[in-house]
Structure 1
């Protein structure tokens, strides 16, 4: 979607809004002339972009209806309802024209973080191979931000080779090597597929040797995957970089030549609204009668881009106030009602937990949603439920505290308040993770009495 359309619509709506405020006949005449010019400009825009689509009856009817609204009624501004009807027609045309195109990714609020990471990746003062990490809980946009950096024009210019591969939870060394090679070898031959791990690694090493490369290892779970392939990444002091995305904020502590992890934050209300607008509206403009409900929905998503995108998917192409009110009132139930959209992603975090952490994590779902759990109370409850095992001569409270810190480091638990000494005072889980805990507990028949 180009900015031209948004500009056309905003200009026209501004002129209509101002029309009722005009006092002199000359002002009214001049404003009406500008309304006509702006209406013609908007209509011409759609005639141009719909070339090749105008043969269908649906498009013909939409263009005709838009023209009637703009030329017959539009030159005599008739209120907010009329503007919203025009906006709906514009959205319907855009959906037809751009239906096959991927909509802009939800990267609102990433500008400052992009600049920091871009500077780290491209700085010329550090020539040695360096490892950078983007960390945070599932759904924060780690992969989205990494992709934005990977495709940046400066990155393309600065690096001789760029490669991207996803590291699955249960990975195979050969798949990692083939994934990296496929980034810059368009057609991997049968001969390459038949190579051993060592042969593939040697081929990769030779391709990297003496060149400046950037490799993204997306969704890496622990440093073992990196250690398995580290020897194939030569450090020729060319300024090469490796970028991890991970849910483990401590990943960088266990990797040689790694910078401290860049931990993503939840989005602000303003950023959340920007993400929501990009995902729901092709024009980038929300009809006034839906704005209040939309902002309630984005607030309930609590700054998690994944939640915002899921909610946007429920609302796109259904612009009735009743539906938006329905979603705003029962957002969590709708999201849990269609778990396929995000449960797989959250399940990975859960499945990767060591067995002794799983009951402690699931137990968090027994607390009310949005409840800030006092850490001392939580530890006592964990111990009372028998989740904490004796470790050597350590007291159970200390073992339980270590478990809580492990869950925090894995980005599964948030810490709303801290004590003056830096210790965690209260903790909570994001609503989506809370829903996940309850669903998983039901599947596993985990402490049904607690969940009632």
Structure 2
């Protein structure tokens, strides 16, 4: 939310001014203390209130607006003062600034008093934000779902899988979670299984309970008893205590095979409070839960993860929604209809809503073309904004610290694949991330991202070499929700500056001690100023330097970036060659974990001047080399002994020579190895002791490599081998390794130029022709 983000941002600015060795402005200590006190109080309030409290949404909206405006006003005053001080210097009077700031502080004091009064006197009406789930066509009411079965188009395989899990022979009680984002079809899947005659006859007792966000344990127990006993009445059960109800549920289920569906659970806490009432009676009983939150799904070990429908299944579901039992789609509408289905991005709720609209409107090509151009707009308006209301519940249930980060996703274009390393830094830069002792803000920001992924609000698009999330994305309907909420809260004001290549940083960059991340398409760093003290011109907070051209690795520069974590450097040869660059000093960067090092030499002899003393720090976890023309025997002295190296990418011409023989005991922590376009390599000799933890091996365009060493197949951790346009003999050796290790789950993917290798294909050995 905008108010919470504004508070965090203002707190961060105040902290930076107070910690700065030479602050551009000074705050009176009384004002700084008063601001901090009020900010902490209001932050605690926003973190503490919930939508289930007695504070009405109207009251909260008014408070949030006042909090946001006051925080932004203070931030504007401080930042404007900083700019004026830098531009004009001492001629700027500070009295007006402190008077204006005092007025803002007093405004915050009044807000604090109003909040305290609301909390003490319990002002407000019963929260009405919670939407009755029966109006959404998703969560449903407490009535038996067997009378409201929906067609399960596109999920036939999941339907069979769920039925198998329910009817399998294991006698112990099993928990079966179904997890996925709002509108993905979790409840519909459960309903369809619930109504199957085979399943109905398999269990002695069935009960369906909708839990939802504002759950009540007593109500849950009452619903179960009403489902399993016709003799019970709501009036008589409501008079009993939670303990009495729980005891009756336990006795009713004991000795009988039961199946309980707990639909729409939002927290593990809700499960913990009802779990003890379900007996483990050895009768092959089952409990199914549906949830949007992956953490909740972890309470069971036999879960079903529901993903988006592919284009074919989306089209099938749209046809069923539009035409029902009629003939197939008319030929003249099929092409545009498939486009409409694709625009729904695989979300069943969206497809069903748009299908319902098409079913009751005129079936002309012109109208369907209009629908295809305005799919999201129509989905969001149809059935009283049915889709957005379902997704709104997920947003409402977010902890307050995650709401600004989620709303921020609206700034990215539709269908954008968002680089996570950039996203988490943007969240930090915007002040959305709350500091946690012992963790960097970037680490906390990454944890925020994982939380949003666990809640199925952000999708993982691509993972990196060792399992980290590299790119993420957001469904268009969720992005629309972000935009709508952000507009309501006036959240977006985000400033975009497009850079250019060949930027030369000004010398003043060495005075920017708060810099954390520097990322340009191509940047040259100037020499640091001379004559300063040892602690001057030190960028102690700098963690990332990317795309630095002709990085001068002298001692004076290295000692001024002591905490650099990620470094990307490339060199274009100058007339005097590479003699002025001292790469041996890289070894002094003891916090460096990721290094990308590229060369583009005019002539190879001068290259030796640069790489001869190439020294790497032991802290490295990820290394990418390109154009370095190192000899394979130098691998043993420069890289193989790095104790923490997990990812090694050897790109075009990084190493030269016909033979690579590894030495025993090297690459002790390497998980991922890529060799690309090292065209001289013919023979590679190694055994499993050199790569004891290797998980993924990728070989690309190695035209002369005769075979993959058989010792690679003996590595117990090996999960996959990929060969892309490599020598046929190398592919055949990969097949031999696969045949020996197939039982251990090894996967091999081959991209070949000739189709004759397709005869090697089989389960887990994939062959594609380029």
TM range (shorter): 0.7 to 0.9
Distance 2:441 2:236 in 1: 56
Cα drift, residue 104 of structure 1? 6.9
TM-score with structure 2 length normalisation?
0.44
For residues 245-266 of structure 1, give each alpha carbon's deviation from its aligned partner in whole angstroms, at most 9, with x where no partner exists: 001122233x3xx214211111
Find the counterpart in structure 1 of residue 228 from structure 2. Answer: 184
Answer yes or no: is the 8 Å Cα contact 1:214–1:241 preserved in 2. yes
Distance 1:450 1:443, change over 3 A: farther
Query: 2:336 is paired with a residue of what secondary structure?
Result: helix
| Distance verdict in 2 for CA 1:106–1:374, change over 3 Å | farther
Q: Deviations over 1:186-212 (max 9, x none)?
A: 462522222221222122112111100
Greater mean alpha carbon deviation, residues 433-442 or residues 110-119: 110-119
Aligned twin of 1:161: 205
| Alignment partners' CA distance in 2, 1:135 and 1:197 | 28
Structure 2's unaligned 5+ residue stretches are 1-146, 497-770
Q: Is the aligned partner of 1:128 residue 2:172? A: yes
User: How far 1:297 sits from its partner (Å)?
Assistant: 0.4
Contact 1:366 1:450 in 2 (8 A): no
Please state if 1:301 is matched with 2:344: yes
Q: Which residues in structure 2 correspond to 1:186-225 (within 5 Å)?
A: 186=230, 188-225=233-270
For 1:81-160, list aligned pairs within 5 A: 105-124=150-169, 126-160=170-204
Q: Partner residue of 1:280?
A: 322
Q: Once the 2 structures are TM-superposed, how far is the Cα of residue 154 of structure 1 from its aligned partner?
A: 2.1
CA contact (8 A) 2:226 2:234 kept: no
Deviation at 1:103, TM superposition (A): 9.1
Q: Provide the C-alpha distance between the structure 2 equivalents of 1:260 and 1:407, rounded to a whole number of angstroms.
A: 23
**Corresponding residue to 1:415 among 456, 460, 469:** 460
Tell me, yes or no, if the aligned pair for 2:460 and 2:471 is still in contact at 8 Å. yes
Matches within 5 A, 1:24-423: 105-124=150-169, 126-186=170-230, 188-253=233-298, 255=299, 258-282=300-324, 283-318=326-361, 319-338=363-382, 340-423=385-468
Gaps of 5+ in 1: 1-101
Alignment partner, residue 70 of structure 1: none
SS of structure 2 residue aligned to 1:210: coil
CA distance in 2, matches of 1:223, 1:276: 35
CA pair 189-401 structure 1, distance change in 2 beyond 3 A: closer
Judged with a 3 Å threshold, the aligned counterparts in structure 2 of structure 1 residues 380 and 228 are, in CA distance, closer, same or farther, namely same
Aligned-CA RMSD value: 1.8
Give, in angstroms, the shift of residue 182 of structure 1.
2.1
Give the superposition deviation at 1:235. Answer: 1.1
Give the whole-Å Cα distance in 2 for the aligned partners of 1:397 and 1:109: 40
Cα distance in 1 for residues equivalent to 2:163 and 2:495: 47
Alpha-carbon offset, residue 449 of structure 1: 5.4
Instruction: Name the CA distance, whole Å, in 2 between partners of 1:103 and 1:208.
Output: 26
Runs of 4+ aligned residues of structure 1 deviating over 6 Å after TM superposition are: none
Shift of 1:232: 1.5
Q: Structure 2 vs 1, CA of residues 227 and 388 (structure 1 numbering), >3 Å: closer, same or farther? A: same
Aligned residues: 346
Contact 1:216 1:244 (C-alpha < 8 Å) held by counterparts:
yes
Give the match's secondary structure for 2:276: helix
- Is the CA contact (8 Å cut-off) linking 1:104 and 1:278 kept in structure 2? no
Q: Which has the higher strand share?
A: 2
1:340 Cα deviation after fit = 2.3
For residues 294 and 323 of structure 2, the distance between their equivalents in structure 1, rounded to whole angstroms, comes to 34
What CA distance in whole angstroms lies between the structure 2 residues aligned with 1:401 and 1:366?
Answer: 18
Aligned CA distance change for structure 1 residues 395 and 260 (closer, same or farther; 3 Å): farther
Q: Is the 8 A contact 1:103 1:279 kept in 2?
A: no
CA offset at residue 419 of structure 1?
1.5
Q: What secondary structure is seen at the aligned counterpart in 2 of 1:105?
A: coil
| C-alpha distance 180-352 of structure 1, shift in aligned 2 (>3 A) | same
Is the CA contact 1:220–1:244 (under 8 Å) kept in the aligned structure 2? Answer: yes
Which structure: larger Rg? 2
Evaluate the alpha carbon distance shift between residue 111 and residue 215 of structure 1 in structure 2; reply closer, same or farther with a 3 A threshold: same
Give 3-state SS (helix, strand or coil) of 1:163's partner.
strand
State the distance in 2 between where 1:448 and 1:396 align. 22
- Mapped partners of 2:435, 2:279: distance in 1: 45
**Which piece of structure 1 moves more, 229-238 or 361-370?**
229-238
Taking a change above 3 Å as real, the CA distance of residues 419 and 449 of structure 1, as seen in their structure-2 partners, is closer
Query: What displacement does 1:399 show?
Result: 0.6
The whole-number CA distance in structure 2 between the counterparts of 1:342 and 1:349 is 12
Q: Could you tell me which residue of structure 2 aligns to residue 66 of structure 1?
A: none
- Alpha-carbon spacing, 1:160–1:378, altered in 2? closer, same or farther (3 Å): same
Q: Deviations over 1:305-352 (max 9, x none)?
A: 011012112211221222211111111222233462112211111111
> CA offsets per residue over residues 375-399 of structure 1, 9 Å max, x none?
1111111111100121102111111
SS in 2 for 1:232: coil
Answer with 169-178 or 184-193: which moved more. 184-193
Q: Which has the higher contact order (CA 8 A, sep 6+)?
A: 1
